[in-house]
A = this chain, B = another copy of it.
Amino acid sequence: MTGPEGADADGATAAAGPGRERQRRLARAALARVAEPGDELVGRWVDELGPEETWRALREDRRPAGATPERWAGLRLRAERAAPERDLSVIAALGGRFVCPGDREWPSQLDDLGWARPVGLWVRGRCSLRFVALRSVALVGARACSEYGAHVAAELGMALAERGWTVVSGAAYGIDGAAHRGALAVGGATIAVLACGVDVSYPAAHRELLGRIAESGLVVAELAPGDHPTRARFVQRNRVIAALTRGTVVVEAARRSGALITARHAGRLGRHLMAVPGPVTSGLSAGAHRLIREDATLVGGAGDIIELVGEMGELAREESGPVVSRDLLAPQAARVLDAVPAVGAADAEELARGACTSREAAIARLHELSSLGFVERVGDRWQLCR
């Protein structure tokens, strides 16, 4: 992914200046509205021509190689309606932002998607997507899950969150919702990756859940604000979940479940593929069993998952220190970390006071710091990792 943008440095604007950087961001926002998620043709143009030139070509009707006239016409129709300035205002009004490749917050593991890499991600929430996704696991599964599946998903969500792992899912009914709720229940970080705009509540009954996720975790989408889900968008959304995480766990899935698509994406991307078994008498476990028979690892609890996705010697690492250097922390995160006492624990309010920030901002930073292995949560308080 090193085209005319040079090392993907949309955000590293030293040479180009803030004007150039803004043009680039606008072009990516426009393309996010125009191109369907996972459109590898547009991805290739962005890679080879750069986002601005791709966007300019669309507006000026200069068809690049590879596009059929029909395809080009379709993209052009959409481009007529694109209003990237407005979309960026909308996301800002939601308290969110548009994160692009090369930005400090961009999770570079998404680059593994090649030309299918999202042109950008619309993000709601306070944490850094890059940091919170660094140690993350996807929990996915059936919408119409069983009580058993919902129970296991919630337990895994809780246990992973308690051990500093971010739970990534799709905010759907069933397994997804249970996994997010499990992580939220213990005050952990969780990311919902949507197949629609981050301002669209889908399913509608999950409006409150999505609000809670945005509050203490992140709601993420490659679709521009206001866009609605389609079958194809669900499929493409799954590739983002798979790429964002170190591994995907299928909790409960029938033989023809969408969760299996995420699973296959995970496998193709070299991520860990895991599945939770269930009764063989339950059709809702048939998909998981099939995956285990093929190439997924059977996991029965958070310990099994972390054993697989954790660094070599994860347990030792948790005791010996964080995964990134303190120098790489953003200034606000570094200030919150400085506020954590050397001995004992402190609650979010004390830490916010120490770091001179709001309580909410402090909590967001603490989740990042927890994901990175700097701090850990003990009840309502936070302390340095030993």
Contacts and interface: CB of A to CB of B under 8 A. Distances in A.
B289 A293 contact: no
Contact of A279 (B148, B293, B298): B148
A152 B278 contact: no
B276 A300 contact: no
A276 B293 CA distance: 11
Contacts of A292: 277, 292, 298
Interface stretch (A211-219, A280-288, A350-358, A374-382): A280-288
A317 B287 CA distance: 29
Nearest to A155: B281
Contacts of A285: 277
Stoichiometry (number of copies): 2
Contact of A298 (B152, B281, B293, B301): B293
A148 B293 contact: no
Contacts of A281: 148, 151-152
A279 B286 CA distance: 13
A293 B304 CA distance: 10
A293 B299 CA distance: 8
Contacts of A286: 300
Nearest to A307: B293
A359 to B, nearest CB: 37
A297 interface: yes
Contact of A277 (B148, B151, B152, B280): B280
A183 to B, nearest CB: 18
A279 B280 contact: no
A277 B289 contact: yes
A345 to B, nearest CB: 32
A301 B277 contact: no
Nearest to A278: B279
Given A148-B279, A277-B277, A297 B289 contact: no
A278 B276 CA distance: 10
Nearest to A300: B280
Contacts of A151: 281
Interface string A287-325: 001001100011011001000000000000000000000
A301 B285 CA distance: 13
